[in-house]
Amino acid sequence: MGTVVAVACAVVASLAFYYALYMQKKAVDTLPEVKLQLSWPVLKAFLTNRRWVASIVVIVLGSVAYAYALANAPISIVQPLMASGVALLAYLAVKNLGEKPRRADLIAIGMVILGVILISVSLVEPVKTKHTVYSATALWIFTAVLVTLAIVVPLAVRHGSQARLAAAMGFSVGLMYGISAVFAKLMLEDWGSRWAHQGLGALFSSVFLLAWALTLFPSFIVLQSALQKGMAIVVVPIMAGLSQLVPIAVGMIALNERFPHNVELTVLRIVAFCLILVATVILSRRAESVTAPLPAEAELDLERGTGVSPAVD
């Protein structure tokens, strides 16, 4: 029963997070550009913007549900469920940002919903979640590799277009969010195991708290910049797919999390993971087609005022 409630909390948290991202996209388009070196005027502009602050409140509320889900279900289950909110973001982007949906968009949203249902079905077999056994060596090697990739990828495309840089930033944020979720899981379990003896001090003496903060908060700042440079429906699906894939890989290899013993349930869970991740790719490719440059003739006609913007399928 606890795992079922955790699944419901993960879905609620996902909807809250992705709605907050939509709110942030609406807000950052009117705010000063986020750069590597933040200044007080930029921080003040963000902190005094009502829509942006409201998005943070939504994230905090979603984080409560997310923390419960992490504490009561394996991370390799919770993180794929967190991708379900991509469907909400796609809907809001199509409805409120003027993008015309295609049949592929509707199929992708259906795939996400089906993936969530299949994961829920795969939970028929009870899962032990207490006292996670992890490999410290594997965990820190994963972390070092992911952090390196998160830094190198945006640097490699920094001289390209703003849209391409935004996508690269989404890639980096996805990697960092994924590993921060792993640290959040370990932090909560570490805190819970030492609470009886050390109380709140157990949280602040955990190395996982520092690792979680160092991977989460810089990524959040990078995400704001990415949303300013590119479309949310491009940046967010890329981020979402990677932030789900990383914990699945780390959970299976470094956290000793396993698939169900039942073969049919294992197949269902694998299919569910694939559906969710493929759906994020479809939504991302759809967004790329929206942001594709106009043909030279169409641009010339628009400049002369004699043409109309070509429709996007």
d(CA 169, CA 183): 21
> Model-level pTM?
0.75
Handedness of CA 170, 59, 19, 110 (dihedral sign): positive
DSSP element (H, E) containing 232: helix 232-253
Cβ(49)–Cβ(31) below 8 Å: yes
Instruction: Name the residue type at position 287.
Output: A
Q: What are 143-180's pLDDT values in tens digits?
A: 999 999 999 989 998 887 787 888 889 889 999 998 99
**pLDDT of residue 42 exceeding 50:** yes
Cβ(73)–Cβ(257) below 8 Å: no
Q: What are 60-91's pLDDT values in tens digits?
A: 999 999 888 887 877 767 877 787 787 788 78
Question: What's the pLDDT at 144?
Answer: 93
Q: What are 235-259's pLDDT values in tens digits?
A: 887 888 788 778 777 877 777 767 7
| Residue the block writes with tokens 């388009």 | 29
Structure-token pair, residue 218: 């810089």
In our burial notation (b when 16+ CB lie closer than 10 A, e otherwise), range 130-165 reads: eebebeeeebeebbeebbeebeebbeeeeeeeebeb
Percentage of the chain beyond pLDDT 90 is: 22
Question: What's the pLDDT at 214?
Answer: 93
Domain residue extents for the chain? 2-290
Which 8-state DSSP code applies to residue 261? S
Q: What are 265-295's pLDDT values in tens digits?
A: 888 878 888 887 787 677 666 545 544 444 4
Q: What are 182-241's pLDDT values in tens digits?
A: 898 888 888 877 766 776 676 677 888 899 999 999 999 999 999 888 877 778 878 887
Task: Phi first, then psi: give them for residue 130, nearest 5 degrees.
Answer: -85, 150
